[in-house]
């Protein structure tokens, strides 16, 4: 280990002096910059600290008028208000900027963009649409188109969503646009416009051959026309498109097989699906169909096998349901108590969960209500997903 030299002690005062000098320079710089700010800036800060945001806005407006380089104060304050949910104040602040005539073009566009975001957060979609439409053709054109696309989806204006998506090649997936056409198809089917619906579904499948939703709806059109065999063939494609969605196809398939008098074939097909792609929702359907058409013993055997393979609350609940029907009156009372406890927990876990944001709900959505993702909300219960993980 090298020996410490006495002369090295002289370095400490030198380093201390250099640090003191640097601090003095920094302090002088801060003082010089603060002196260059208008008094309104400090008034605004004082109002803000005293939780008087309206007076703070007025003061900061004066700052911008006197010293335009402080415009970022407005944007920072407006973002703060928006994050805190004080949307009326955020709108008022950004509107005050939009109304200014002396702002540079890029700053004016930013103010409009911030105002549009305020309106969207407040649910004032018509005003947000007006603002972002004004931004079309500016340096923020792409941002405006993205915002308008989101607005049209929220308003369920699918025609305009398709139109603006066409202006954004590469930015909007064909899978997403296929869902826009499916939305229009469902609307047409609800209004008995069958040919229009068919045209939209054909377009959807052209855009995305793996679009399960379009396949299901096309099968619905065929089944409506009495073409059950063709509908069955079409619905069976779901297995290759995305087997996660077989739970949505199962009731359709079984109904079509029943209308053809081929119940055994339908049960065989669905049992095979459950064997290859175990799912709680699919199990629920298969159990009901087996109980209805093959009896309690077959339903109990199905539930027991699934419970051994995948130990879940739903499997236990279905097993107990079948077992109850085989017990005498004295034994049934205790079993019913057990089933009521299991059923309560099963209902609590019977929720679908978005794979993108984690939002949960009791029903399936093609578009997540929370994050807006398409096909991020598979028809699988949270318990099922947790078990698979």
The whole-angstrom separation of Cα 388 and Cα 244 is 12
**Angle at CA of residue 380, ends 377 and 381, nearest 5°:** 110
Q: Does 354 appear as a known binding residue? A: yes
DSSP symbol at 377: S
For 376, residues 6+ apart whose C-beta sits below 8 A from its C-beta are 354, 355, 356, 357, 368
Is the Cβ–Cβ distance between 213 and 366 less than 8 Å?
yes
Number of residues assigned to the chain: 389
For 226, residues 6+ apart whose C-beta sits below 8 A from its C-beta are none
The whole-angstrom separation of Cα 129 and Cα 109 is 15
Query: What b-and-e string marks burial along 104-113, b requiring 16 or more CB atoms within 10 Å of the CB?
Result: eeebbbbbbb
Q: Does 368 appear as a known binding residue? A: yes
DSSP symbol at 374: B
**Angle at CA of residue 149, ends 146 and 150, nearest 5°:** 90
Phi, psi at residue 3, to the nearest 5°?
Answer: -80, 145
Q: How many CB atoms neighbour CB 182 within 10 A? A: 26
Summarize the annotated binding site as residue ranges.
354, 357, 368, 371
Binding site for Fe cation, by residue number, is 354, 357, 368, 371
């Amino acid at each position: 280990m090298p020996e410490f030299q006495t002369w090295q002690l002289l370095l400490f005062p030198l380093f201390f002096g250099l640090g003191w000098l640097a601090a003095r320079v920094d302090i002088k710089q801060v003082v010089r910059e603060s002196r260059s700010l208008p008094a309104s800036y400090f008034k605004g800060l004082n109002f803000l600290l005293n939780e008087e945001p309206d007076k703070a806005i007025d003061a900061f407006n004066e700052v911008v008028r006197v010293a335009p380089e402080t415009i970022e104060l407005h944007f920072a304050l407006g973002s703060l208000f928006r994050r805190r949910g004080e949307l009326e104040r955020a709108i008022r602040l950004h509107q005050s900027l939009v109304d200014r005539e002396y702002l540079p073009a890029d700053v004016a566009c930013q103010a409009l963009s911030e105002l549009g975001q305020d309106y969207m957060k407040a649910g004032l979609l018509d005003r947000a649409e007006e603002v972002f439409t004004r931004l079309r053709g500016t340096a923020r054109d792409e941002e405006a188109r993205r915002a308008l696309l989101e607005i049209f989806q929220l308003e369920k204006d699918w025609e305009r969503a398709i139109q603006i998506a066409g202006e954004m090649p590469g930015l909007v997936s064909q899978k997403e646009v296929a869902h826009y056409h499916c939305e229009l198809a469902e609307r047409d089917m609800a209004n008995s416009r069958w040919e229009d619906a068919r045209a939209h579904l054909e377009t959807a499948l052209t855009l995305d051959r793996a679009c399960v939703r379009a396949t299901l709806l096309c099968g619905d059109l065929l089944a409506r026309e009495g073409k059950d065999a063709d509908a069955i063939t079409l619905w069976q494609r779901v297995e290759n498109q995305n087997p996660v969605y077989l739970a949505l196809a199962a009731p359709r398939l079984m109904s079509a097989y029943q209308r053809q008098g081929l119940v055994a074939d339908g049960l065989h097909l669905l049992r095979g699906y459950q064997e290859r792609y175990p799912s709680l929702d699919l199990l629920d359907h298969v159990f009901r169909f087996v109980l209805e058409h093959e009896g309690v013993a077959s339903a109990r055997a199905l539930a027991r096998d699934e419970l051994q393979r995948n130990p879940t609350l739903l499997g236990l609940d279905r097993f107990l349901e079948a077992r109850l029907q085989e017990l005498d009156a004295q034994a049934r009372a205790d079993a019913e108590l057990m089933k009521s406890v299991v059923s309560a927990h099963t209902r609590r876990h019977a929720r679908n969960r978005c794979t993108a944001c984690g939002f949960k709900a009791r029903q399936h959505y093609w578009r997540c209500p929370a994050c807006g993702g398409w096909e991020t909300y598979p028809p699988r219960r949270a318990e099922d997903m947790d078990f698979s993980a």
